[in-house]
Amino acid sequence: MKHRYLPLTKQDEAAMLNAVGADSIERLFADIPASVRFQGVLPMSSAHDEPSLLKHMRDLSGRNADADRFASFLGAGIYDHHIPVVIQHVISRSEFYTAYTPYQPEISQGELQAIFEFQSYICELTGLPVANASMYDGATALAEAAALASGASRRKRIVVSRTVHPEAREILRTSARGLGLEVTEVGFLDGVTDLEALEAAIDESTAAVLVQTPNFFGCLENVRAIEPLIHSRGGLLVVSVNPLSLGLLEAPGKLGADVVVGDAQPLGIPMSLGGPTCGFFAVTEALMRKIPGRIVGQTADRDGKRGFVLTLQAREQHIRREKATSNICSNQALLALCASVYMSVMGKQGMQEVARLNLNKAHYAAGRFPAGTKVFGAPFFNEFVLKLPEGATVKELNARLLGAGYIGGYDLGAAYPELAGHVLVAVTERRTKEEIDGFVREWEAWL
Amino acid sequence: MKPEKALIFELSRPGRIAYSLPECDVPEVDPSAVIPVGHLRSEPAALPEVYEVDVIRHYTELSRRNFGVDNGFYPLGSCTMKYNPKINEDVAKFPGFAKIHPYQPEESIQGALEMLYTLQNDLAALTGMDQVTLQPAAGAHGEWTGLMLIRAYHESRGEGRTKVIVPDSSHGTNPASATVAGFETVTLPSDARGMVDLEALRQAVGPDTAALMLTNPNTLGLFEERIEDIARIVHDAGGLLYYDGANSNAIMGIARPGDMGFDVVHLNLHKTMSTPHGGGGPGAGPVGVKSKLAPFLPKPVVGLHPDGTFYWDEDRPQSIGRVKSFYGNFGILVRAYAYIRTYGPEGLRRVSEIAVLNANYMMHRLAPYFDVPYPGVCKHEFVLSGKNLKSAYGVRTLDVAKRLLDFGYHPPTVYFPLNVEECIMIEPTETESKETLDAFIDAMIQIAGEAASDPQLVLNAPYTTAVKRLDEATAARKPVLNCSC
C-alpha cells in the first residue's frame, strides 16, 4: 500500500530485506507464536483520504455547541476566557510540539528555558519559591499534594473541605486508597468551609488540610483563619487556587500555604472538553526535594554559558523505581507553554486588569438577578451560586437557555444533594453586558 | 557559537504591554468594597512588561533552540517518535472540539461523544479487550489506573493480593505505579536471551500475586515467545496480566494483547497513535480491560442509547472512581481518532510491519560496529551495548550520544534498559525513509571510528549546539529553580 506518511518503496523493501537476510516481512514476525497471531481484519472503519477525513471531522465538530456560537456561563473548573492569538502561533512551532521530554539538554534549551520561565511565573503568582514543570491537571496535582504531605509528615490523615471541586475530591479518594490515606471531609456554612468543623477534624495525625479558593462555589475561603488551625497541629496547608484570580487576590504563599496547586486552564488553554489542561505545583523551600514531577534548574555549560537542565532527578521514578513517591513521568509541557505565553502577554498590568474585568462582570451579573436568587453571602471572584424556585430544575432551565444561544451554569445537585435546584454561574471577561442582560432576561422569562 | 539567550524577565521595560482586553462595559466595582482587604493582593506579581513583538521573537528564538521530530530523525527507543501528522493538529483546533465545555448538556456535544465512543471501540478492537476507559492522561497514569482496577477486582473476590511482579528490564514507571497503587514490587530477572525467566516466574508467583506487568515486545525489542506459558503461570496462581502498551507500535493488527492472555492494557496514544509529545506532554494513556474487570473502570465511560444518542455512563457502582478531571485529555483523543481513520485497519498493520523492518535493517547494518547483546530478530526497536567502546577507548555511550548531536540527530535512548551495560536503544519508527536510516547508520559508524582514532573528539562533543555539556551536578547540588526577579 502507498501512504503519504510511509516512504518505503518496493525497491527499498527488497534491499532492506536482503540486508537483513529475510525473504519477507512476514519472516520478521516468526517469533510470534501462531496461536496468538491475529487473523483477519480489525473491526474498524476503513482508511479515509484527506478530504473525506476533514469532512468527517468537521461534521463531528459541527454537532457540538461551541463557545464561538454560544455565550457560555459555565465554569466549575473550566472557563471560557479570551485566548490571546499569539499563543496558538507559539505553540504551533513544531520544534516545541514535536519534541520529547528534554532529555538531551544541549538541543532542548528552548523547552528547558520555557519551563524554567514557567516555574518562575508560578512562583511569582503563588508566592512560593519552588515550582515544578507542571502536572496532568489541577485535580491530580491536589491528590499529589496530599501524597507529598503524607510523606513529609509521616502522617496518614488528610482533611479536605467539601468546597473543594467534587471531581478533585473523587480523584483524591481514588488515590488515597492506593496510598492507604484516610480522607476526612469537612462541610460548609454560607458557601465557605465551616471553620469550627475544620478545627474539630484536625488532630496530631493530620498530614494536611486541603482547601480551594476561590472555592467550588466561587467564594473566597478565609485562608488566614485556616492557616493556624493546621500549623498549630504540625500539618501542612495545601491551597488550590484559580491562577487568574491571583491578579487580584493575595498569593497563598503569603498566607502561609506550604503547597499551592491549581489548574492553569484559565491562562490561555482551550476548554477542549476539559483536557488537556495543565496542573501547577508550588512548595516552600523546605519541601523542595519532595516535590513530584519534572523540575528544571539553571546551570552553566563547559564554557560557563548559562543553560538549563532537568534536575533533582533523584526524586523520580526512573531512578527510584518502586521507592518513588510518585509515578509521574511526563508533564504537560505544551500547556505549560500556553500558560507561560499567556503570562508573558498579559504581563504585570494585564494580569491585574483581566482579574478586575472578571470581578466587575461577575458582580454586575450577580446584581441583575432578583433579590434572594443568589444564596451565599461570602465574597466571590467570578462565580456565584443561584437558587431556582421550588420545583424548577437546572436541566430544564439549561435546555431553554441552550435554545436561546446560552450555555447555562453547573447543576450543583449531582455533587451536593442538599443543593438540588442550585446552579453555579461563571462570568468571565468574554461576556458582554448585552450577553449578561440577555441571559438574565431569558432566565426570568423561563421562571 | 550562539550567544546566551535572555530570559523573558530580562526583556521587561515598565510600561510596555502585549495584551488587548475589552473596555469594561459594566459598572466597575471597587475591589476593596466587595473583598476584604486581607484577601487582596498586597503587591502585583512581578511579571514581565513586554510588547507583542518581544513575545513572538522570544519564543521563536527558544523554538530554534529545540529539536523535534520535524527537525530530524529522533530514534529515541521506547518513545516511538514517529511523524506527528498535521491534519491531526488542524482538526483538534476545530471550535466544536477546542471550544466545548465538559459540563455542557449531553445533547450539545453529541459529535464529541460519538467520537469518544468510536475511539473506545477502536482501541478495544486493536488490543483485543472488551472495554476501554479514555480517562488516563499518560502512560504512567494508565499503569496506575490499571493496577487500581486489578486491586478492585481482587478485593471484590475477597482476595488481598499484595504483590506485583515486574521484569528487571521494565520501565521505571512500572514499579513506581505499583507502589503508588499500594502494592509491593517483586523484580524478576531476565534469562540469558533477555526474556522472562519462566523458572524464576514460577518461583515468584503465589497466593499473594496480584499481577505481572509486562511489555511485549519487551524493552529489549524482543517478543516474549512463551507469552502463553507466562500467562498460564500467572493465571494459575490467581494473578492477572498487565500489558504496558509502550511497545504497541510493533504489533498492530498482527498480535493483540487480549489474545496473548493479558487482562488489562494501557496504550500510549502519544507513541503508537502519533499524537505529539509536546516537549513532555500532554499525552493520553487509555486502559482496556477484559469484561471481568469492566465493572471497575473509572466513571464515566461513553454509552450509546438504543435511540442512537450518546451519553455519559455514570451509573457504575463498582467503579474505582475518577482518575482524572472531566474526561481525560480530549484534545489528544481527537488526534488519535483522526490518526486511526487515516490508516484504517490494513494501514495500521502496515505501520507495524515497516516499523519492524526498519529496526531490523538498522540492527543488521550496525552489528559489525557495535556489540549486539541480543542478536536475531527484533521487533520495532533493538539495543546495542557500547561496552566495547568504553573498555577499548574510554568512550562511553553518553559520549556517543553527545557526538550524534553534531550530526543533527536526536540520540537514541541511553542507559535503558538497566540490564544492558552502556545501553543504546534505537527505535526508528515507520515514518523514516531508507536514506534517513542509512545516513544515521553512517554517522554511528563514523563515531565508532572516531572513538578508536581520536577519542577526545567524541569525549568533548557536542560542538555545534546552542550550549555545550552542562554541569548537572551543580544544578542538583545548588538548585536555581526560578529566576527570582
When pLDDT is averaged across residues B117-140 and rounded to a whole number, the result is 97
Instruction: Give yes or no for a contact between B133 and B152, defined as CB atoms under 8 angstroms apart.
Output: no
Nearest residue on chain B to A37, alpha-carbon basis: B255
Say if A200 is an interface residue toward chain B (CB within 8 Å): no
Residue contact B325–A57, C-beta within 8 A: no
Q: Is the ipTM of this complex over 0.90?
A: yes
DSSP bridge partners of B287: B133, B266
Instruction: Note the pLDDT of residue B169.
Output: 84
What's the CA angle centered on B353, arms B348 and B358, to 5 degrees? 125
In a domain? residue B308: yes
Instruction: Specify whether B154 is located in the same domain as B235.
Output: yes
Give the structural domain span for B377. Answer: 350-468
Nearest residue on chain A to B168, alpha-carbon basis: A321
Sheet with B413-414: list strands edge to edge.
Answer: B382-385, B423-426, B413-414
Cell of A213: 479558593
Contacts of A227 in chain B (CB under 8 A): none
Nearest residue on chain A to B483, alpha-carbon basis: A120
Contacts of B67 in chain A (CB under 8 A): 95, 99, 104, 107-108
In a domain? residue B215: yes
**pLDDT per residue as tens, chain A (447 positions):** 899 999 999 999 999 999 999 999 999 999 999 999 999 999 999 999 999 999 999 999 999 999 999 999 999 999 999 999 999 999 999 999 999 999 999 999 999 999 999 999 999 999 999 999 999 999 999 999 999 999 999 999 999 999 999 999 999 998 998 889 999 999 999 999 999 999 999 999 999 999 999 999 999 999 999 999 999 999 999 999 999 999 999 999 999 999 999 999 999 999 999 999 999 999 999 999 999 999 999 999 999 999 999 998 876 667 677 777 777 777 899 999 999 999 999 999 999 999 999 999 999 999 999 988 999 999 999 999 999 999 899 999 999 999 999 999 999 998 999 999 999 999 999 999 999 999 999 999 988
Residue contact B356–A25, C-beta within 8 A: yes
CATH, domain range A71-83+344-446: 3.90.1150.10
Sorting pLDDT into bands at 50, 70 and 90, what band is B218? very high
Say if A34 is an interface residue toward chain B (CB within 8 Å): no
Instruction: Give yes or no for a contact between B74 and A100, defined as CB atoms under 8 angstroms apart.
Output: yes
In a domain? residue B62: no
Instruction: Specify whether B356 is located in the same domain as B454.
Output: yes
Instruction: Specify whether B164 is located in the same domain as B130.
Output: yes
Interface-testing mutation among A3, A27, A36, A63, with chain B (most B C-beta atoms within 10 A): A36
DSSP bridge partners of B196: B190
Say if A96 is an interface residue toward chain B (CB within 8 Å): yes
What one-character DSSP code corresponds to residue A23?
S
Say if B139 is an interface residue toward chain A (CB within 8 Å): yes
Q: What is the pLDDT of residues B442-479, one digit of tens each?
A: 999 999 999 999 999 999 999 999 999 999 999 999 99
What one-character DSSP code corresponds to residue A154?
T
In a domain? residue B7: no
Instruction: Note the pLDDT of residue B90.
Output: 98
Q: Select from A21, A90, A379 the Cβ nearest to the Cβ of B34.
A: A379
- The chain-wide mean pLDDT, for chain B, equals 96
Cell of A96: 516545541
pLDDT over 60 at B1, yes or no = no
DSSP bridge partners of B264: B242, B289
Among A304, A290, A274, A251, which residue's Cα sits nearest to residue A122? A251
Instruction: Specify whether B126 is located in the same domain as B262.
Output: yes
Residue contact A41–B346, C-beta within 8 A: yes
Task: Find the CATH number of the domain harbouring B97.
Answer: 3.40.640.10
Percent of chain B whose pLDDT exceeds 70: 99
Say if A150 is an interface residue toward chain B (CB within 8 Å): no
How many beta-carbon pairs below 8 A join chains A and B?
Answer: 698
Interface-testing mutation among A272, A280, A382, A393, with chain B (most B C-beta atoms within 10 A): A272
Instruction: Note the pLDDT of residue B2.
Output: 67
Instruction: Note the pLDDT of residue A424.
Output: 98
Q: How many residues does chain A have?
A: 447
DSSP bridge partners of A237: A209
Task: Find the CATH number of the domain harbouring B367.
Answer: 3.90.1150.10
Distance from CA of A224 to the nearest CA of B (A): 8
Say if B66 is an interface residue toward chain A (CB within 8 Å): yes
In a domain? residue B166: yes
Distance from CA of A155 to the nearest CA of B (A): 16
Residues 79-98 of B with CB under 8 A from A: 79, 81, 83-85, 87, 89-98
Q: B300, B328, B343: which is the final residue of a domain?
A: B343
Among B16, B82, B31, B105, which residue's Cα sits nearest to residue B358? B82
Reduced 3-state DSSP string for chain B:
CCCCCCCHHHHCCCCCCCCCCCCCCCCCCCHHHHCCHHHECCCCCCCCCCCHHHHHHHHHHHHHCECCCCCCCCCECCCCCCCCCHHHHHHHCCHHHHCCCCCCCHHHEHHHHHHHHHHHHHHHHHHCCCEEECCCCCHHHHHHHHHHHHHHHHHHCCCCCCEEEEECCCCCHHHHHHHHCCCEEEEECECCCCCECHHHHHHHCCCCEEEEEECCCCCCCCCCCCHHHHHHHHHHCCCEEEEEECCHHHCCCCECHHHHCCCEEEECCCCCCCCCCCCCCCCCCCEEECHHHHHHCCCCEEEECCCCCEEEECCCCCCCCCCCCCCCCHHHHHHHHHHHHHHHHHHHHHHHHHHHHHHHHHHHHHCCCCECCCCCCCCCCEEEECHHHHHHHCCCHHHHHHHHHHCCCCCCEECCCCCCCCEEEECCCCCCCHHHHHHHHHHHHHHHHHHHHCHHHHHCCCCCCCCCCECHHHHHHCCCCCCCC
Sheet with A422-426: list strands edge to edge.
Answer: A383-387, A422-426, A410-411
Contacts of A291 in chain B (CB under 8 A): none
Say if A421 is an interface residue toward chain B (CB within 8 Å): no
Instruction: Note the pLDDT of residue B418.
Output: 86
Contacts of B199 by beta carbon, 8 Å cutoff, 6+ apart: none
Instruction: Specify whether B339 is located in the same domain as B357.
Output: no
What's the CA angle centered on A358, arms A352 and A363, to 5 degrees? 125
Nearest residue on chain A to B474, alpha-carbon basis: A299
Residue contact B254–A32, C-beta within 8 A: yes
Say if B457 is an interface residue toward chain A (CB within 8 Å): no
Distance from CA of A324 to the nearest CA of B (A): 6
Element (H, E) at A300: strand A296-300
Residue contact B277–A98, C-beta within 8 A: yes
What one-character DSSP code corresponds to residue A26?
G
Instruction: Specify whether B220 is located in the same domain as B242.
Output: yes
Contacts of B400 in chain A (CB under 8 A): none
Instruction: Note the pLDDT of residue A270.
Output: 98
Say if B276 is an interface residue toward chain A (CB within 8 Å): yes
Instruction: Specify whether B331 is located in the same domain as B372.
Output: no
Across A162-278, the runs of DSSP E, i.e. the strands, are 182-186, 188-189, 192-193, 206-213, 236-241, 259-263
Say if A154 is an interface residue toward chain B (CB within 8 Å): no
Instruction: Specify whether B440 is located in the same domain as B292.
Output: no
Select the more confidently predicted residue: B418 or B156: B156
Q: What is the pLDDT of residues B425-445, one digit of tens each?
A: 999 999 999 999 999 999 999
Among B154, B179, B149, B153, which residue's Cα sits nearest to residue B164? B179
Nearest residue on chain A to B83, alpha-carbon basis: A5
Among A408, A411, A430, A431, which residue's Cα sits nearest to residue A419? A411
What's the CA angle centered on A48, arms A46 and A51, to 5 degrees? 165
Residue contact A42–B148, C-beta within 8 A: no
In a domain? residue B290: yes
Instruction: Give yes or no for a contact between B463 and B407, defined as CB atoms under 8 angstroms apart.
Output: no
Residue contact A329–B485, C-beta within 8 A: no
Cα B347 to the center of its chain, rounded Å: 22
Q: What is the pLDDT of residues B175-211, one digit of tens each?
A: 989 998 999 999 999 998 889 999 999 999 999 999 9
pTM, entire model = 0.97
Q: Select from A43, A64, A320 the Cβ nearest to the Cβ of B100.
A: A64
Q: How many CB atoms lie within 10 A of CB B97?
A: 27
Instruction: Specify whether B92 is located in the same domain as B177.
Output: yes
Instruction: Specify whether B156 is located in the same domain as B257.
Output: yes
Say if A357 is an interface residue toward chain B (CB within 8 Å): yes
Sorting pLDDT into bands at 50, 70 and 90, what band is B171? confident
Say if B102 is an interface residue toward chain A (CB within 8 Å): yes
Say if B162 is an interface residue toward chain A (CB within 8 Å): no
Contacts of B56 in chain A (CB under 8 A): 86, 89-90
Instruction: Specify whether B278 is located in the same domain as B356.
Output: no
Q: B316, B343, B370: which is the final residue of a domain?
A: B343
Domain boundaries along the sequence of chain A: 71-83+344-446, 85-342
Instruction: Specify whether B148 is located in the same domain as B187.
Output: yes
Nearest residue on chain A to B23, alpha-carbon basis: A357
Contacts of B87 in chain A (CB under 8 A): 50, 53-54
A85-342 folds as Aspartate Aminotransferase; domain 2 (3.40.640)
Structural domain count of chain B: 2
